[in-house]
Amino acid sequence: MQYSGPSIPPVTGLILSGGGARAAYQVGVLAAIAELLPDAGHNPFPVIVGTSAGAVNAVGLACGALHFRDAILRLTDVWRAFHTGHIYRSDWSGVVRQAGRFVGRNLLGFSGQSPAALLDNAPLRELLSRELDFSGIAAAVRQRRLRAVAVTAFGYESGQAVTFYQGRATVDPWFRHRRVGVPTRLNVEHLMASASIPMLFPPVKVNREYFGDGAVRQSAPISPALHLGANRVLVVGVSGNLQNGDANASVPRPRSVRPPSLAQIGGHMLNSTFIDSLETDIETLERINLLSRLLPDDARSRLGVRPVEVLTISPSQPLDQIAARYREELPRALRPFLYGPGATRSGGSAVLSYLLFEPGYCNALIELGFQDAMAQREALARFLAAERP
């Protein structure tokens, strides 16, 4: 993108969206980046932003920002060895007990000390506490290898998308309609809050408010990276719409006149939560870039409008179809709860694509992410080369 105004030092941001098990795709893209990096220790992303499962990947990279390629390789190893039981209870006793709590508290009105949800994600807390060294963030910021890392969560009381960030003291908080930026020292609770999909996982209390998945009210997913100082961004999505969208494509004809299953409805709701806002924000940013190119330099400077270079990498294949191929990997204790709503059938596999944390599926997404990134290796190599020590 050409800009003839004053030269602005490039500050590259990495944006990792949410999507449960779909975030394995991001790890494949990061594995390709590890191969393309000319300097193994250099972090090419001074600003790292993540939401939901993307927040876990983002903080994992930030914790190892002093040895960036090693951080990517560690993250890849963890995802390749994933089982559903590492994220939420998938054994018979754990599943039945949690289902009983959910029905008792939410449908029968029984009281309880903690908020109930359909799934118990206590194993995720144990995994994050074991695998992440949060002191690495402060060390990377101190040595100027990292400008800021941020995760977004949704406040159930305030109704705001709150971006918790840790970074340099020069980064100011921001206050916009329904979205704010709050400086803090990140810990496991922020990640658990950002990844707590409503109804599926319990809300998490941070300070004085309960929080859930940040994608719920995140109307502008790219905005936190820009607030943190990025002027160019790499967006790794978990939907093929960003790559395969065609405005001239014909509208698909319905293949069935049957009413939608509960899993189909849930899949569309999850897609709306995790995918639609990112796609809309990218379209908005592209329109702003077009407007900024049409304005003269003095008008750009007066209005504070400047182009933001965007490189997007997203799946070249539908992830729900890949999930359908690996549905037999779903733990047996979960199958009765997902069979009835239709999640184990092809029409409802979108829900499965978010919940199937099993090696076959996760490794398939990692391989797809690696291949898709390598298909853009020239553009990706140029993008990474712009941010050098």
Q: For residue range 48-92, what is the model confidence (pLDDT) as tens digits? A: 999 999 999 999 999 999 999 999 999 999 999 999 999 998 888
Q: For residue range 142-185, what is the model confidence (pLDDT) as tens digits? A: 999 999 999 999 999 998 999 999 999 889 999 988 889 999 99
Token reading at 253: 């004809």
Residues 17, 52, 90, 239: which is the catalytic one?
A: 52
Q: For residue range 197-247, what is the model confidence (pLDDT) as tens digits? A: 888 888 999 998 999 988 877 666 888 999 999 999 999 987 755 555 444
Q: For residue range 289-348, what is the model confidence (pLDDT) as tens digits? A: 666 666 666 665 555 567 788 899 999 999 988 998 998 898 888 777 665 555 555 556
What's the Rg (C-alpha) of the chain?
21
**Which CATH code for domain 12-242+263-386?**
3.40.1090
Residues 120, 213, 281, 320: which is the catalytic one?
A: 213
Amino acid, res. 329: E
Angle between helices 359-375 and 377-385 (to 10 degrees): 80
Q: For residue range 91-111, what is the model confidence (pLDDT) as tens digits? A: 888 878 877 777 777 666 666
Q: Is 15 helix (H, G, I), strand (E, B) or coil?
A: strand
- Catalytic: 213? yes
Q: Please report which residue ranges of the chain form alpha helices under DSSP H.
A: 24-36, 53-63, 68-80, 92-106, 122-131, 135-142, 188-194, 223-227, 241-244, 262-271, 277-294, 297-303, 319-325, 335-339, 349-355, 359-375, 377-385
- Catalytic: 52? yes
Nearest to 3 by CA among 290, 224, 233: 290
